[in-house]
Chains A and B, each alone.
Chain A
Amino acid sequence: MIEHAITPNLVFDVAHMFAGALVLISFLMLYQDRLYALLNVFALQAVALALAVAWQAYAQDAPHLYVTAGIALVFKALVIPVSLHRMVARLGIHRQVETAVSIGPTMLAGIALVALSMVVMLKATPAAEALAREDLAFALSVVLLGLLMMVTRRNAVSQVVGFMSLENGLILAATGAKGMPLVVEISVAFSVLIAFIVIGIFLFRIRERFDTVDVDALDRFRGGRA
């Protein structure tokens, strides 16, 4: 019988696999040194997220989560990376990712952050069911790695990618929480949309005034005003 093929163990393992994949891809993003490659890896992470969310929708029998999965697939895996690709090409930004901290220490910090989130989450949630708590630990890792990327990157596009990867972690956490009201899913998707519009406007405006989207270049304009 086909229904019996899906045992609780399998549900657990598959969910685990997808969530773990998200964390791995976050690490992949940390050591990309080309903007285009970074965008491709981000798209891959969005695909992994879509799969993870779709699996949760199936496992929890919560059809509304398919919407979230669809948004992740269409919007984050296709629309955003493609338009950022075009923006990078049109603005003629240097194709390199400028890092504030070099790759090695960043990776080490990333490993430390993942360890931290495992320790915190697994210790804090002995009562919750195993799937929820490990999902949460993975989600927190993705959030923290996104944050790390935002701090260690200098140019605006890679900071935006870091921020979006952080949001991926949030969605993973939200869908892992069983029966979380729809309002949150919508709001998360919505916030990504708004965030993108705003960032789009800003990049456009920045383009009007600057030749580079390097945030350091913005800092220089502060000059002596302290």
Chain B
Amino acid sequence: MIGSIAALTFNPAPVILAIPAVAAVLLALIPSYRVSAALNVGACALTFLTALALLVAPRIAGPFLIVDDLNIVFVVLNTFVAFTTSVFSASYIAHELETGRLTPLHLRFYHAMYQVLLAAMNLALLSNNLGVMWVAIEVATLTTVLMVGLYRTEAAIEAAWKYFMLGSVGIALALFGTILVYMVAQPVVGEGPDGMIWSVLMKRARDFDPALLNVAFVFLLLGYGTKVGLAPLHAWLPDAHSEGPTPISAVLSGLLLNVALYAVLRFKLLLAAHPGTLAPGPLMMAMGLASLLLAGFMLYRRRDIKRLFAYSSIEHMGLIAFAFGLGGPVANFAGLLHMTMHSLTKSAIFFAVGHVCQVKGSQKLSDIRGLTTSHPALGWGLVVAVAAIAGLPPAGVFMSEFLLVTSTFAHRPWLALPLVAGLLLAFGALMLKLSGIAFGAPSPGTDKVKASYLPMTVHLALVLVAGLYLPPPLVAWFRHVAGLLG
């Protein structure tokens, strides 16, 4: 009886933030990399389980944290991918240590930063305060900057520098937008902290001054859009993905981009709550289509395997932004589904790519040939994953892209043309590159890599199952959230 009451009143949100924070401190203190890798996995697993508890937790909006149907989707997906990535990371870094690319001291730093990053991302998703969300995204950016520069090669430092500069500009524009939102809210809700609380803003949005709110949204879209990797502000993304440790590439693509997207969506909701503002859709659709087409062309010219998939991330974030920009129940549903599928598939790809680069000792596409012959498990895993991300049925990505294209044909037939062109372009590029990577005479490499296939297999299985069968509760949930997004 008491237990059930406790279960009803238990609020998992603070715990989701506390676990990674405590783990980060512990990991900074533990010198043994084996222990810390295990602790890293354990902490991530615990966070994921707590995040699952959110599903049954009450929807509350306190002064600090907010739990609603929209951010639960993001938190659960985030903590799940973080957990599987930590499992992959444990096997990945063991090899990096053996080859001497990283030292135990680096790893201590790496593990602590990994948890700081997770704490920051979860805070960004759960915070009910615009300012705190901004700080959290900023912290997440800075930790990833440090991780991208971890190898300390010339290229890694360049990538980190570029990422840092562009990321800071983005984050600065986002702060300016945040200040403007406060200034819009201040005459209506009064001075003080209330002017930055999501739940308060959403209720009072009708009375806001529409012109200034529009200006604020443009800044926020450009600012957080930089972090989403939308064209023309995507320049940092390929470098950051290719030079850091591969688990970080997986986390960047699978998680951090989503967190930034979440911020954009929140502000889009705010605009949608006011009838007099400009429609945020066309802006998002334009940036989304530009990203899709640009990435589609750029994919053909890639010579580095991690850069190849970084451009593919730009393509997919463009698709997702387009879907949410298009709006309406079907397109929003497609956007949510595509975001989930992209996170799962792209991180699976990076899990495979991480080990591929280790066995071949290179990231150059010209050094990676005939994987299915030399390393069948890795090779076929990569083939399945790339086929999935390229949008071949029966993977879940196919379903979301199909929904998106049909919805576009129904509402904006002219836009379906560039959309389909972009999809086909990217598809062709990925197939072309995949045939070189996976088939033909194998290039030289080693077998001495203890790869862990479990995270990749689990992700791919989920993506394939989702393409064939989505559980009705999940569909109902996504439909509900899609309705909220308007």
Residue of B158, B165, B192 touching A179 (CB-CB under 8 A): B192
In B112-171, which residues have CB < 8 Å from any A CB?
Answer: 129, 131-132, 134-135, 138-139, 142, 145-146, 149, 152, 154-155, 157-158, 160-161, 164-165, 168-169, 171
In contact, B154 and A210 (Cβ under 8 angstroms): yes
Judge whether B196 is part of the interface by a CB distance below 8 angstroms. Answer: yes
Q: A202-B149, A218-B161 are in contact. Are A209 and B154 (CB under 8 A)?
A: yes
The yes or no answer to A147 lying at the interface (CB within 8 A) is yes
A51 at the interface (CB under 8 A from B): no
The answer to whether A191 touches B138 (Cβ under 8 A) is yes
List the A side residues contacting B134 at CB < 8 Å.
187
A143 touches B172 (CB 8 A): yes
* Chain B residues with CB under 8 A of A130: none
Asked whether A183 lies within 8 Å of B183 as measured between CB atoms, the reply is no
Query: Is A104 an interface residue when CB atoms closer than 8 A count as contact?
Result: no
Stretch of A30-38, A66-74, A162-170 that contacts chain B = A162-170
Pick the contact of B168 from A128, A195, A222 — CB < 8 Å? Answer: A195
Interface residue stretch chosen among B259-267, B298-306, B413-421, B453-461: B298-306
In the bound assembly, the distance between CA atoms of A136 and B177 in angstroms comes to 11
Q: Does A215 contact B (CB under 8 A)?
A: yes
Contacts of A125 in B (CB 8 A): 183, 209, 211-212
Say yes or no: A202-B161 contact (C-beta < 8 A), given A121-B215, A124-B211.
yes
B187 partner residues in chain A, CB cutoff 8 A: 127-128
- Contacts A147-B169, A179-B186 given; does A184 touch B131 at CB 8 Å: yes
Which range holds the interface residue count of chain B?
Answer: 35 or more
The answer to whether A90 has its CB under 8 Å from any CB of chain B is no
Contact A181 B164 (CB under 8 A): no
Q: B212's contact among A124, A166, A210, by CB below 8 Å, is which? A: A124
Say if the beta carbon of A59 comes within 8 Å of chain B: no
Measured CB to CB, the closest approach of chain B to A88, in angstroms, equals: 17
Residues in B neighbouring A184, C-beta threshold 8 A: 131, 175, 178-179, 182, 196
Q: Which residue of chain B has the shortest Cβ distance to A213 in the bound complex?
A: B161
Chain B residues contacting A170 (CB-CB under 8 Å) are: 172, 175-176, 179
Asked if B214 contacts A124 (CB within 8 A), the reply is: yes
Task: Identify which of B164, B168, B175 contacts A188 (C-beta below 8 A).
Answer: B175
Cα distance, A205 to B158, chains bound together (Å): 11
Question: In the complex the two chains form, is B154's CB within 8 Å of A202's CB?
Answer: no
B191 on the A face (CB < 8 A): yes
Residues of A within 8 A of B171 (CB): 191
Could you give, for residues 194-225 of chain B, a 1 whenever the CB lies within 8 Å of some chain A CB and a 0 otherwise?
Answer: 01100000000000010110110000000000
By a CB distance below 8 angstroms, the chain A residues around B196 are 181, 183-184
Question: With an 8 A cutoff between CB atoms, is A77 at the interface?
Answer: no
Do A218 and B172 contact each other (CB < 8 Å), given the known contacts A136-B183, A226-B303? no
A40-B138 Cα distance, complex, nearest whole Å: 28
CB within 8 A of A143: which of B152, B157, B158, B176? B176
For the complex, what is the distance from the CA of A215 to the CA of B132, rounded to whole Å? 32
Contact of B158 among A126, A128, A173, A221 (CB under 8 A): A221
**Is A4 among interface residues, defined by CB-CB distance under 8 A?**
no
Which residues from A are CB-within-8-Å of B483?
none
Query: Per a CB cutoff under 8 Å, which of B154, B301, B302 touches A218?
Result: B154
Q: Given A127-B187, A181-B195, A187-B135, do A167 and B154 touch, yes or no (CB 8 Å)?
A: no
B155's contact among A123, A190, A195, A225, by CB below 8 Å, is which?
Answer: A225
Contact call A177/B183, Cβ cutoff below 8 A: yes
**B192 and A202 contact, CB distance less than 8 A:** no
Q: Does A206 contact B (CB under 8 A)?
A: yes
In the complex, A201 Cα to B160 Cα: how many Å? 11
Find the B residue at minimum CB distance from A156: B161
Interface members, chain B 198-254 (any A CB < 8 Å): 209, 211-212, 214-215
Report whether A178 and B129 are in contact in the complex, using a CB–CB cutoff of 8 Å: no
Q: How far is the CA of A194 from the CA of B140 in the complex (A)?
A: 12
A183 touches B129 (CB 8 A): yes
Say if the beta carbon of A26 comes within 8 Å of chain B.
Answer: no
Question: Within residues 145 to 185 of chain A, which ones have a CB less than 8 A from any CB in chain B?
Answer: 147, 150, 156, 159, 163, 166-167, 169-170, 173-174, 177-181, 183-184
Q: Tell whether, in the assembled complex, residue A202 and residue B212 are in contact, meaning their CB atoms are under 8 Å apart.
A: no
- CA gap between A198 and B164 in the complex, in Å: 9
**Set of chain B residues within 8 Å of A221, measured between Cβ atoms:** 154-155, 158
Q: How far is the CA of A224 from the CA of B152 in the complex (A)?
A: 19
User: Is A120 part of the contact surface with B, judged by Cβ < 8 Å?
Assistant: yes
Q: Nearest Cβ in chain A — how far from B234, in angstroms?
A: 15
- Tell me, in angstroms, the Cα distance from A201 to B143 when the chains sit together: 13
- With the chains together, A126 CA to B187 CA distance in Å? 13
> CB-nearest residue of chain A relative to B239?
A222
The answer to whether the Cβ of A132 comes within 8 Å of any Cβ in the partner chain is: yes
Distance between A181 CB and nearest chain B CB, rounded to angstroms: 4
Q: Which residues of B contact A208 (CB under 8 A)?
A: 152
Contact B145 A198 (CB under 8 A): yes
Supply 12 A–B pairs (Cβ within 8 Å), ascending by A.
A126-B211, A150-B165, A169-B176, A179-B190, A180-B182, A191-B171, A194-B138, A202-B149, A202-B161, A205-B157, A225-B155, A226-B302
A-B residue pairs, 8 tightest by C-beta: A179-B191, A218-B158, A221-B154, A181-B193, A124-B211, A124-B215, A187-B135, A183-B131
Residues on B facing A (Cβ under 8 Å): 129, 131-132, 134-135, 138-139, 142, 145-146, 149, 152, 154-155, 157-158, 160-161, 164-165, 168-169, 171-173, 175-176, 178-180, 182-183, 186-187, 190-193, 195-196, 209, 211-212, 214-215, 301-304, 307, 364
**Other than the known A143-B176, A177-B186, A199-B164, what 17 A-B pairs have Cβ atoms closer than 8 Å?**
A124-B214, A143-B173, A166-B172, A167-B172, A177-B182, A180-B179, A180-B182, A181-B195, A183-B129, A183-B132, A183-B135, A198-B142, A202-B161, A218-B154, A218-B161, A221-B155, A222-B158
Q: Residues of A at under 8 Å CB distance from B?
A: 120-121, 123-128, 132, 136, 139-140, 143, 147, 150, 156, 159, 163, 166-167, 169-170, 173-174, 177-181, 183-184, 187-188, 190-191, 194-195, 198-199, 201-202, 205-206, 208-210, 215, 218-219, 221-222, 224-226
